[in-house]
Structure 1
Amino acid sequence: MLTDSTLQAWLAISAVDITAIGLFSLLGIPYVLKFLWAPLLDRYSPRWLGRRRGWIAASQFLLVALILGFAFQDPSKNIHALAWMALALTFVSATQDIAIDAYRAEILRPKERGLGAGLSVAGYRIGIIVSGAGAYLLADHVGFNVTYAALAAVAALGLFATVAASEPKAPVGLPGTMSEVVIQPFHAFLRRPESLGLIALVCLYKFGDAAAGRLTTTFFVRHLEFSLTEIGVFYKGIGISSSLLGGIFGGALMFRWGLYRSLLVFGVIQAVTNIGFMFLAISGKSYVTMITVVALENVSGGMGTAALVALLIAICDRRYTATQFALLTAVASIGRVLSGPPAGYLVEAFGWVSFFFFTAVIALPGIILVFILRGNIDRYDIMFTIRPDER
């Protein structure tokens, strides 16, 4: 969030050109490419805190330092310096994601995975709200420089949680060489007949949802003319309860519905909520409509992400958790990263109403792939209670 919508809001009020704002979404490329250095986290274990927590702690320390650095920047005077700092921040954040994803996949017992995925999504959404709603509210009164300094202090709290947590037991058969840790994770996954279909599903499942969210903050600031405080309260703040509900409820439903039905229903709901933003663009500034649309978007987004995360956990081999999970989440982030630049041009060419309708249409391929891969999804659902290294 700190290099996404929060930074987008800072750029928007600093009179940065909307095309440049759209290009800033390319700073998320490290999330797409993080599988390139993920093997290092499978191969090497820091001496302090262990194989997973050691990497998490190191990443958190660097994140605090970089976020604090934002407090001394001015987008209107040196946009290039801010861009380079944002790139460094996304690189370290992507590394932290690799370590946390691997930790979650390895620490959760089989029966805990569905609800665990839901809770992790809920926690992620809380982080989004804090760095979004909290940042907007604070920035509207004291400016973004002080806000980023405060967020650096909040980020430092994560170090205490990392130290207090337990370290998952390392699986048998860990890779012993860099050659093995680089080649085997890809070979083990790609030799599955359904591998390409799964990659396409992971890439496209949340593509429409991601495209709709690329310029939402700019949409509220410039088209509907909401203040930062209003955005913080109604757009970000209202999402707290609905995000928690979406993540937890989605995780709970997976125990009853299974992965296939969850992916299908949650995918359809995600597409429908994009239509809600289209109606908001037509009706104009309306608190009731905004609250309704935002609440539905957060619920559906949390449910969809919970189902997708549960699928990723099920298909990863624990010997190469960091690498395989990083590869799959990187694929999932392609839509979120690459939809930014064309989003700005689409808004300028066709307007907000057509843009949000288009984001609903491009959600359909992901839903269709769920139908096509039903047999494979059902098979992984059965395997969901078995550790990948025990198959």
Structure 2
Amino acid sequence: MATFKTFDALATEKGRLFSFSLLYISEGIPFGFTSVALVTYLRGAGLALDQIGLFMAALFMPWAFKWAWAPLIDIFKLRRFGGRKTWISFCTFAMIITLLMTATTDYISDFQLLITMVTLNNVFCATQDVAIDALAVSTLKENERSRGNGFMFAGQYIGISLGGGGAMLFSSAYGFNNTLIFISALLSICLLYTLLFIKDPFTRELIKQSKTNVFRQLALKFKQFFVTLYESFFRSGKGPALGILFALMPVGAMALAYATLSTIQVDYGLSEAEIGRLSIFNTITAATGCALGGWLGDRFGLKPTLIVTYILTAIPTIFLAWNIYQFGLVNIDTNTFYSIVITHGLFYGMSFGIHAGIFMGMTNPLVAATQFTAFMAMTNLTISFANYWQGLVAENHGYAWVLFLDSLLILLPLMLIPLLRNRKIKSPKNDKQLEPAYSN
């Protein structure tokens, strides 16, 4: 009787790049829906800019605090049940369920309930991200990190395009609530691929069961984990410590990448279908930028490439700010407006695609879920705060001031980038401490 055999997609370089791209697509889909399609819908329904800023801040909160539960993935590797693949699969399934539940919410009259449902969905999405990043840190080879992150964030932008612009086009044809079925179907495809073709390499390293008391082994596991985590942050050279500060700084000029862009498009007068098409073009361009940034980072170095791309994100941002200040938003030529948005998407994709590569070099693979997540969570906290202050400033002073301030703030990370370093490895023994006898 013939049996169906699956292959290990993470066993080859091409398989790793494709798989992590697809896993990041599954991250980008719900984010694109909430940050693009839903924000556009809320603004079109008359929601104030400061409320939308609050909504986006709430959306990013789980991503900012995912470090709080990230140790669970490092400590409970679930080797006997598929390892981090199990975490990824469960969270993807939970994301689908919470999105379908969100379809029953009245977005305007039950605004607080909407925030609650979207926050819950992003708890699962952020946890899925923790597991994916931990798998990537321990799977990608050193010479694949820049390209790997470029492909991963390119995948995320493709997911954002599907969940954002794709959902807007779907909504214009079939109604907004039905887009949640569309989003859930896309996530189901990613879930199926994970179940069939992803294998955690940790599951190949089953450790013999010890006769020691299970609870004592578990206590030892927690102790070893936190010792290793402390050493990975504070006894691995200056790199990880500076990384904490760098993670709290803006990722280039960010306003045209998040909620401010969505509200600008509505106030500019674009229709739902036009916003959907522009969003698709913009995110495809950003995805291309991620891949290009990864290639440039491997060729010329992460830090020089990051400095250049950060500066490039400010150019279209300042140009749009000047046009709004001089002529008013609605008086800007359509081709000019589209060109500014898409150009920024390219440059922001280039910077964001290699931004995470900086932190991978600072991360100890043994505590990858927690340490790398801490870096990225602080980045998300920065994005959350940026969406909040941008909404307040836009509501009270207009878009031009938001864009000018956003561009000015990139001076902070530009001064720190030359000082960043990878972690220092003391000895091979120190990187093998977190393998206790007890295995889940």
TM-score, normalised to structure 2, is: 0.80
Instruction: Answer yes or no: is 1:226 the counterpart of 2:259.
Output: no
Task: Name the residue aligned to 2:232.
Answer: 188
CA distance, structure 1, for counterparts of residue 416 and residue 367 of structure 2: 26
Gaps of 5+ in 2: 1-30, 208-217, 433-440
Q: 2:43 corresponds to which letter in structure 1?
A: A
Task: Name the residue aligned to 1:177.
Answer: 221
Q: Equivalent residue of 1:58, what SS?
A: helix
Task: Name the residue aligned to 1:11.
Answer: 42
Cα deviation, residue 240, structure 1: 4.2
Matches within 5 A, 1:138-217: 138-163=170-195, 164-169=197-202, 177-191=221-235, 192-206=237-251, 208-209=253-254, 213-217=258-262
Instruction: Answer yes or no: is 1:304 the counterpart of 2:351.
Output: yes
Q: 2:354 corresponds to which letter in structure 1?
A: A
CA distance, structure 2, for counterparts of residue 171 and residue 318 of structure 1: 16
CA distance, structure 2, for counterparts of residue 109 and residue 50 of structure 1: 21
Task: Name the residue aligned to 2:281.
Answer: 238
Task: Name the residue aligned to 1:41.
Answer: 73
CA distance, structure 2, for counterparts of residue 186 and residue 66 of structure 1: 35
Task: Name the residue aligned to 2:381.
Answer: 334
Q: Equivalent residue of 1:208, what SS?
A: coil
Question: Closer, same or farther in 2 for the Cα pair 1:186/1:5, shift >3 Å?
Answer: farther
1:316-356: CA deviation from partner (whole Å, max 9, x where unpaired): 10100100111000011122101222212211222111211
Task: Name the residue aligned to 2:95.
Answer: 63
Question: Closer, same or farther in 2 for the Cα pair 1:285/1:211, shift >3 Å?
Answer: closer
CA distance, structure 2, for counterparts of residue 104 and residue 167 of structure 1: 10
CA distance, structure 1, for counterparts of residue 52 and residue 287 of structure 2: 29
Cα deviation, residue 285, structure 1: 4.5
Cα deviation, residue 277, structure 1: 3.1
Q: Is the 8 A contact 1:71 1:144 kept in 2?
A: no
CA distance, structure 2, for counterparts of residue 294 and residue 327 of structure 1: 30
Mean Cα displacement is larger for which, 313-322 or 296-305?
296-305
Matches within 5 A, 1:26-175: 26-27=57-58, 28-46=60-78, 50-163=82-195, 164-169=197-202
CA distance, structure 2, for counterparts of residue 219 and residue 289 of structure 1: 14
Gaps of 5+ in 1: none
Question: Closer, same or farther in 2 for the Cα pair 1:302/1:168, shift >3 Å?
Answer: farther
1:349-380: CA deviation from partner (whole Å, max 9, x where unpaired): 22111211111001111111113x1xx43x66
Q: Equivalent residue of 2:65, what SS?
A: helix
Question: Closer, same or farther in 2 for the Cα pair 1:90/1:107, shift >3 Å?
Answer: same
Match for 1:358 among 405, 416, 420? 405
Q: 2:112 corresponds to which letter in structure 1?
A: H
Q: Is the 8 A contact 1:207 1:336 kept in 2?
A: no
Question: Closer, same or farther in 2 for the Cα pair 1:17/1:354, shift >3 Å?
Answer: closer
Task: Name the residue aligned to 2:309.
Answer: 266
Q: Is the 8 A contact 2:146 2:302 kept in 1?
A: no
Question: Closer, same or farther in 2 for the Cα pair 1:228/1:49, shift >3 Å?
Answer: farther
Q: 2:57 corresponds to which letter in structure 1?
A: L
Q: 1:322 corresponds to which letter in structure 2?
A: A
C-alpha RMSD of the superposition: 2.6
Q: Is the 8 A contact 1:105 1:321 kept in 2?
A: yes
Q: 2:201 corresponds to which letter in structure 1?
A: P
Mean Cα displacement is larger for which, 129-138 or 238-247?
238-247
Q: Equivalent residue of 1:84, what SS?
A: helix
Q: 2:273 corresponds to which letter in structure 1?
A: T
Identity %: 25
Q: 1:146 corresponds to which letter in structure 2?
A: N
TM-score, normalised to structure 1, is: 0.89
CA distance, structure 2, for counterparts of residue 241 and residue 151 of structure 1: 18
Cα deviation, residue 158, structure 1: 1.2
Q: What is the count of residue pairs matched by the alignment?
A: 380
CA distance, structure 1, for counterparts of residue 45 and residue 81 of structure 2: 42
Q: Equivalent residue of 1:122, what SS?
A: helix
Q: Is the 8 A contact 1:250 1:303 kept in 2?
A: yes
Q: 2:319 corresponds to which letter in structure 1?
A: G
Cα deviation, residue 262, structure 1: 1.3
1:291-326: CA deviation from partner (whole Å, max 9, x where unpaired): 211221221111111221111111110100100111
Question: Closer, same or farther in 2 for the Cα pair 1:259/1:190, shift >3 Å?
Answer: same
Cα deviation, residue 203, structure 1: 2.0
- Structure with max Cα Rg: 2
1:84-109: CA deviation from partner (whole Å, max 9, x where unpaired): 11110111111011011111112212
Cα deviation, residue 193, structure 1: 3.0
Q: 1:20 corresponds to which letter in structure 2?
A: Q
Question: Closer, same or farther in 2 for the Cα pair 1:252/1:49, shift >3 Å?
Answer: farther
Cα deviation, residue 31, structure 1: 0.4
Instruction: Answer yes or no: is 1:250 the counterpart of 2:250.
Output: no
Question: Closer, same or farther in 2 for the Cα pair 1:182/1:16, shift >3 Å?
Answer: farther
